[in-house]
Amino acid sequence: MKNRMCEMFGIDVPIFAFSHCRDVVVEVSKAGGLGVLGMARMSPERLRRELKWIDEHIDGKPYGIDILMPVSYQDAGELKFDPERLFPKEHLDFVRGLLDDAGIPKLPPEDADALVRDLLSELSFTPAESARMLDIALEHPISLIVNALGSPPKELVERAHARGIKVAALAGRPKHALRHKENGCDFVIAVGTEAAGHTGTITSMVLWPRIVDAVAPLPVLGGGGVGRGRQVAAALALGCEGVWCGSIWLKTVQSEVIPEIKAKMFAADSDDAVLTRSVTGKPCRTLRCAFTDAYDAPGAPKPLPAPLQNILWWSEGRVRVERIRAREFLTYPVGQIVGDMTAQASVRDVVYEMMDELVEAQQRLHAMFG
Ligand SMILES: Cc1cc2nc3c(=O)[nH]c(=O)nc-3n(C[C@H](O)[C@H](O)[C@H](O)COP(=O)(O)O)c2cc1C
């Protein structure tokens, strides 16, 4: 394929892959697309290791990083991990009661240290930590920086551009996309509500062409609900110049997802990908589980603001749940295309199948106008 996004990065197909998994990043770039490593929740040491590994395995192909540069997070810099002080009693009782009633064992004391370590790396959401992570990433041959929350600061854009690195940002509304353009982004990623993770309420079908028109002539990638070739064709038809996919890689052999969660995903339908504040405190689309159901039930407490809800779920729920892999509570961010995800495949096969189906769609449309 040939278009501005392919030319910008010297790639064969304008398929951009968000993943927290270095293997997925490498495989997508080697299959002709562009892998982007999500850096959230990584310690600086782990980030160094992951980027070094990518550099050693990616055969010189381009790749990018996705960084959370928060603007509106409550400052958790002074946080001492003391659940009783940190969380309102109602919330602690709610989550603890839920897991106790389900018979999920409490954490043994020896796990407490690991928990605090995890939580501290979770706080890399703060602006100071994000800036440190960016410095590490700039020591590597990255081609793209994607800003996950809000517009990238102009200084970041200037630093990146001075090194020949492109910058983009996610937008769930046209006004956010315009702000990204003003701040100097090279392209915008329009993400519809179908998407996994933090997302807005406008569907891709409506959002993509609105953002394409709003930021023209800047190129736009369509994200949210893209996992197959017909959806790539739809994105291109709506004016996008490529796609941004996250959920589809979760089903791959290479993905970071544990088998128990993969099995739940393969059995799930699209409406099992629920938009909830119960996991992070912000609207986040994730696989429905007993925890998200409990917060949806009448009388449940209102989720705490970010990042507190995230820390509450992580420390009081997730660690206990994952220790014994308690199926009914296991969850992971995933978008509505989960209903289409029914079996494992390699990353390479996913990319090739997308391209095959795109070509079929293009031929079918072409024949209609023949
Ligand atoms: C497991 C998972 C975690 C995600 N975490 C982030 C993140 O940390 N930063 C970010 O910008 N987007 C994150 N996303 C969202 C993706 O960037 C992307 O917008 C989304 O997956 C696209 O929609 P799709 O899921 O329908 O493909 C995540 C997606 C998944 C699947």
Q: Which two tokens stand for residue 21?
A: 């998994």
Confidence of residue 73 (pLDDT cuts 50, 70, 90): very low
pLDDT digits (tens, 9 = 90+) for 103-132: 999 888 777 667 766 666 655 456 777 788
Q: Which atom of ligand 1 is nearest to the CA of 227?
A: 27
Q: Which long-range contacts (CB under 8 A, 24 or more apart) does 364-369 make?
A: 365/233
* Separation between Cα atoms, residue 11 and residue 326, nearest integer Å: 41
Of the ranges 60-74, 88-102, 166-180, 253-267, which one carries the lowest mean pLDDT score? 60-74
- Between the CA of 299 and the centroid of ligand 1 the distance, in Å, is 30
CB 115 within 8 A of CB 130: no
Say whether pLDDT at 222 is over 60: yes
**What pLDDT is attached to residue 119?**
67
DSSP 272: G
Confidence of residue 359 (pLDDT cuts 50, 70, 90): very high
Q: Which long-range contacts (CB under 8 A, 24 or more apart) does 348-355 make?
A: 348/27, 348/30, 348/31, 350/227, 350/248, 350/249, 350/251, 350/252, 351/13, 351/15, 351/28, 351/31, 351/32, 351/33, 352/31, 353/228, 353/229, 354/15, 354/227, 354/228, 354/229, 354/232, 355/13, 355/229
What values do phi and psi take at 189, rounded to 5? -110, 110
**What pLDDT is attached to residue 76?**
47
Q: What is the dihedral of CA 17, 322, 70, 68, to 10 degrees?
A: -30
Mean pLDDT of 7-20: 98
- Best probe residue, ligand 1, of 15, 16, 18 (max atoms within 8 Å of C-beta): 18
pLDDT digits (tens, 9 = 90+) for 58-71: 999 999 999 976 54
169 bridge partner residues: 147, 188
| Ligand 1 pocket, residues with Cβ under 6 angstroms | 18, 20, 38, 40, 66, 148, 170, 191, 194-197, 223-226, 244-248, 250, 332-335, 337
Among 346, 353, 344, 349, which Cα is nearest to 265's?
344
Confidence of residue 289 (pLDDT cuts 50, 70, 90): very high
**What pLDDT is attached to residue 101?**
96
Confidence of residue 74 (pLDDT cuts 50, 70, 90): very low
pLDDT digits (tens, 9 = 90+) for 301-341: 999 998 889 888 888 888 889 888 999 999 999 999 999 99
Say whether pLDDT at 81 is over 80: no
Q: Which atom of ligand 1 is nearest to the CA of 194?
A: 26
**What pLDDT is attached to residue 85?**
84
Of the ranges 95-104, 116-125, 174-183, which one carries the lowest mean pLDDT score? 116-125
Looking at the chain, the whole-number percentage of residues with pLDDT higher than 90 is 78
Average pLDDT, the chain: 92
Alpha helix segments (H runs only) across 280-341:
290-296, 308-312, 319-323
Q: Which atom of ligand 1 is nearest to the CA of 334?
A: 31
**What pLDDT is attached to residue 171?**
97
Among 67, 63, 3, which Cα is nearest to 28's?
63
